């Protein structure tokens, strides 16, 4: 075979390979391309959970799709009113035709018994519906596609990513403390008990042995007495005072440390009034 024939054959082979690759890319692209949703797509992200107010903050980012979106900027082709569940503020969020659908944050209620902290279980419900301009009374229902996600620190969410579709969308998330948060709370409970019992044992020993006044130890007990509430309130997601953690550890630790401090001060005061000598060993 001469050189020109070889070059022609090589070029033909290269062209055939390129054609096959191009056809396969087109087939994959057509197979993976999803049709645009004809309605409003809602991306909802759970941001915070506040057990003190029994509420959660959710950031919602709406995006029009299908006949409601004007490319390439996804501007609204018609006015839309979006309604979301909330415990305060406005339920309705109005968007005009020709404008963007701005994201917003809403506060939704949290259900569940927080008195069993750190072993409590919570529920967060997110609901939404939309209609064209005029609202639910005179407007037409707009289909919704809701994506819910969460990346809360210190909590375990039953559904890391939930999808709901329909004229009215509703999703319930089960939110529990993470295992790390539970173990840390239990660890703090044990530390409080250990410090309180240790302080009481030292106080009893000082009184029984009639030791001289120990100002440093009395100061330590006073600091410990006011440090426990600070540590308690810094625990992740802890509700107001009155939960299981308080009855199992916090109240007892405060009482034991206060009892030890009062016993020391009372014993030293009575000894000083009676003129009893103190041991210095």
**42, 83, 136, 144, 196 from 104: Cα distances, Å:** 11, 12, 20, 16, 47
**In the prediction, which pLDDT does 275 show?**
54
Residue 29's CB is within 10 A of a number of other CB atoms, namely 9
Q: What percent of the chain has pLDDT over 70?
A: 82
pLDDT, one tens digit per residue, over 33-50 is 345 788 899 999 999 999
The answer on pLDDT for 25 being more than 60 is: no
Mean pLDDT score, 23-27: 44
The answer on pLDDT for 21 being more than 60 is: no
The answer on pLDDT for 279 being more than 80 is: no
**201, 204, 212, 262, 265 from 215: Cα distances, Å:** 17, 16, 9, 13, 10
The answer on pLDDT for 12 being more than 80 is: no
Token pair 């609204």: residue: 76
**In the prediction, which pLDDT does 266 show?**
86
Average pLDDT, the chain: 83
**In the prediction, which pLDDT does 274 show?**
58
**In the prediction, which pLDDT does 26 show?**
38
Backbone angles phi, psi at 114, to 5 degrees: -85, 0
Mark residue 4 as left, alpha or beta (left: phi above 0; alpha: psi -120 to 50; beta: remaining).
alpha
The answer on pLDDT for 60 being more than 90 is: yes
The answer on pLDDT for 212 being more than 80 is: no
The answer on pLDDT for 5 being more than 80 is: no
């Amino acid at each position: 075979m001469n050189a020109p024939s070889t070059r022609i054959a090589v070029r033909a082979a290269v062209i055939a390979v390129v054609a096959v690759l191009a056809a396969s890319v087109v087939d994959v692209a057509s197979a993976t391309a999803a049709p645009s949703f004809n309605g409003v797509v809602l991306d909802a992200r759970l941001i915070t959970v506040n057990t003190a107010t029994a509420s959660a903050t959710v950031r919602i980012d709406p995006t029009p799709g299908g006949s409601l979106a004007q490319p390439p900027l996804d501007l609204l082709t018609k006015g839309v009113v979006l309604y979301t569940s909330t415990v305060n503020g406005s339920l309705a969020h109005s968007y005009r035709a020709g404008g963007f659908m701005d994201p917003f944050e809403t506060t939704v209620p949290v259900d569940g018994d927080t008195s069993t902290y750190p072993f409590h279980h919570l529920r967060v419900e997110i609901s939404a519906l939309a209609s064209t301009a005029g609202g639910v009374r005179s407007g037409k229902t707009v289909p919704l596609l809701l994506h819910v996600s969460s990346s809360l620190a210190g909590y375990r969410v039953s559904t890391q990513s939930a999808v709901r579709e329909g004229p009215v969308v509703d999703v319930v998330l089960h939110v529990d403390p993470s295992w790390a948060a539970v173990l840390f709370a239990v660890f703090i409970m044990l530390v409080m008990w250990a410090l309180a019992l240790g302080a009481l044992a030292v106080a009893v020993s000082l009184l029984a042995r009639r030791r001289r006044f120990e100002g440093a130890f009395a100061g330590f007990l006073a600091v410990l007495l006011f440090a426990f509430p600070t540590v308690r309130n810094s625990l992740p997601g802890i509700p107001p005072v009155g939960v299981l953690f308080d009855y199992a550890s916090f109240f007892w630790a405060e009482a034991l440390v206060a009892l030890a401090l009062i016993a020391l001060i009372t014993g030293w005061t009575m000894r000083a009034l009676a003129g009893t000598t103190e041991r210095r060993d």
